[in-house]
Amino acid sequence: MRAIVKRFPGVLANDHVDLTVEAGEIHALLGENGAGKSTLMQVLYGFHTMDSGEILIDGVPARIDSPRDAIALGIGMVHQEFMLVQRFTVTQNTVLGLRESRSPMLDLRGAARRIRDLSDRHQMAIDPDARIDQLPIGVQQRVEILKLLYRDARLLILDEPTAVLTPQEKDRLFDVLRGLRSEGRSIILVTHKLHEIIELADRVTILRDGRAVSTVATGDTTPAELARLMVGREVNLHADKSVLTRGDTVLRVTDLRVRDESGHQRLRGVTLDVHAGEILGIAGVDGNGQSQLAEAILHLRPVESGQVFLNGEDVTQLTTAQHRDRGLAYVPADRRGVGSVAELSIADNSILGSQRTRTRGPFLDRGGIRAYARMLVTRFGVRSAGIDTPAGKLSGGNLQKVILAREILRDPTAMVVEQPTRGLDVGAIEAIWKELLRQRESGTAILLISAELEELMNLADRIAVLFEGRIVGIVEARGASIAALGAMMAGTPHLQANAE
């Protein structure tokens, strides 16, 4: 890709970006949120048409106006949200959209044989006849890769491929990708995870503010150097967590059982305590009951049985507003759909949940709200065009700062925090971690739900692992190992995980 320029109204997303990917190479693409990574890959895959520049495949200029054009040129993409029909089999998903012969009938048996051959050759262990909704997340991702191999893709783009995988599934994926590299295929890895780049990639290109600032061989760099190139300053990649003596139990959950909208039981007797001045981490692959746990504690979801206590008071059936009045704060996983109102300004979003206390007579105290919002933006380093900026216009990291700041400034006694850094770059992660640790040091009890084991091991005092709605073990974070936690995330009970 040579001198790629892509503009959107008011934004220069890609500013004369160069990117060269060699045959048989794993090439990482790194950058802050808003640096232009996704736009560049969407140009390459035909979702967007570039304003100027040139794309060459094997040295030959190529015109890519749609994903169909990209696929015809041997380019495939695995999106962070998988593009699979859950009720279809692996074979049906693989041939979906393809015309393999002039016959009006699909040769599913022939397709299944070819899929099995590809699976065996690349050691993917995929059953062509399995239904997608019966497969673990890690296997579903391998199905996405197999779809591209079935189309004979020579360049594979993977967007945040390990975001929903256990450590063991990540290792399996990396083995598959190394195998593809060894047979001459090329892979572009879009990720925020610096250690994974060092472990897997051959080279890495860093984007900052829409420009490619550097391309380096991973053997000649370090995670700290990559972070500095990405953000433009030194970044602390490890949380400086002081040793604290945990206080009394603030938040207690006993034998909690919850069903989802379809009637399936998603929490099956969860019991845990969170103490003052403690961060209790909840680990687990997405979909094992984490969101239901947070929603049940806040009474955003009906509780079938069990109890939630806050400072010794049974608050199971209290409203969300009553929870907040008693000092329970909530940072949801969905920062745009649940944690904020996109059309409202930063100022208005800064008081959500406490607007009744921001009045002068029967009206909102606009002057006081604006002064409060300016203080929030300054203290938490929210980067924006001003407090009148709609929340929906903020980057993920800056929006997360607004939501976290809003909850922290209420001076809570307990917090439930879901996926606080999902999709954020290292600069935003550093800022979010610091604020959570400040709250811990001030005595707040924090229940931290995260799919990132590195985050939990940096921040948490104890880690509880949730698998299929049950706690399979609780360990001290200081002595926890990635291997043991990964085994527990796959359903192995704590004692057996340690024995392994």
State yes or no: pLDDT of 392 exceeds 70.
yes
Interatomic CA distance for residues 145 and 181, integer angstroms: 13
Tell me what the mean pLDDT of segment 277-281 comes to.
Answer: 97
0.85 cut: is pTM over it? no
Highest mean pLDDT among 120-124, 144-148, 262-266, 310-314: 310-314
Q: Which region among 232-246, 284-298, 299-313, 453-467 has the lowest average model confidence (pLDDT)?
A: 232-246
Residue with tokens 């206590």: 309
- Name the CATH topology of 236-327+412-500: Rossmann fold (3.40.50)
Beta bridge partners of 249: 275
Alpha-carbon gap, residue 464 to 451, rounded angstroms: 12
Identify the residue with better confidence: 310 or 100.
Answer: 310
**What's the pLDDT tens digit per position in 455-491?**
999 999 999 999 999 999 999 998 888 888 888 888 8
Q: What local confidence, expressed as pLDDT, does residue 496 receive?
A: 53
For 30-56, the DSSP string reads EE-TTSSHHHHHHHHTTSS--SEEEEE
Percent of the chain with pLDDT over 90: 60
pLDDT of the residue at 102: 61
The answer to whether residue 438 scores a pLDDT higher than 90 is yes
d(CA 134, CA 303): 27
Alpha-carbon span 155 to 184, nearest angstrom: 10
The pLDDT of residue 2 is above 80:
yes
Question: What is the C-alpha to C-alpha distance for residues 219 and 204, in angstroms, rounded to an integer?
Answer: 10
Is pLDDT of 82 > 90? no
Mean pLDDT value across residues 18-38: 91
Q: What is the mean pLDDT of the chain?
A: 90
Q: Which residues contact 204 (CB under 8 A, 6 or more apart)?
A: 27, 28, 29, 30, 197, 215, 216, 218, 221, 226
pLDDT of 432 > 70? The answer is yes
pLDDT recorded at residue 429:
85
SS3 446: strand
Q: Where are the beta strands (DSSP E) in 111-164?
A: 155-159
- Would you place residue 100 in the very low, low, confident or very high pLDDT band (cuts 50, 70, 90)? low
Determine the pLDDT at residue 500. 39
Q: List, in sequence order, every residue forming a beta bridge with 77; answer none if it has no partner.
A: 157
- The pLDDT assigned to 81 comes to 74
- Between 372 and 286, the more confident residue is 372
Most confident segment among 101-115, 252-266, 295-309 = 295-309
Query: pLDDT band at residue 431, thresholds of 50, 70 and 90?
Result: confident
**Lowest-pLDDT range, 51-65, 320-334, 380-394, 465-479?**
380-394
- pLDDT of 253 reads 97
Q: Compute the average pLDDT of residues 61-86.
A: 90
Question: Tell me: domain 2-231, CATH 3.40.50.300, correct?
Answer: yes
pLDDT in tens, 341-364: 999 999 999 999 888 888 888 898
Examine the pLDDT at 99 and tell me if it is beyond 90: no
Cβ(278)–Cβ(252) below 8 Å:
no
385 contact partners, CB below 8 Å, separation of at least 6: 393
pLDDT value for 79: 83
Give me the pLDDT at residue 495, please: 58
201-257 pLDDT tens trace = 999 999 998 999 999 999 999 998 998 898 888 877 777 788 888 899 999 999 999
97, pLDDT greater than 60: yes
Quick one: which of 169, 95, 79, 157 has its CA closest to 125? 169
Q: 54: pLDDT confidence band, cut at 50, 70 and 90?
A: very high
Q: Kindly report, residue by residue over 178-192, the tens digit of the pLDDT.
A: 999 999 999 999 987
For position 393, what pLDDT does the model report? 84
pLDDT band at 499 (very low <50, low <70, confident <90, very high): very low
Give the pLDDT score at 238. Answer: 77
Please report, for the chain, the start and end positions of each structural domain, with discontinuous segments joined by +.
Answer: 2-231, 236-327+412-500, 337-411
- Identify the bridge partners of residue 158 per DSSP, sorted by sequence position: 78, 189
- The answer to whether 32 and 192 are in contact (CB under 8 A) is no
Q: Distances in Å between the alpha carbon of 224 and those of 162, 239, 476?
A: 20, 14, 27
Same fold for the domain at 2-231 and the one at 236-327+412-500? yes
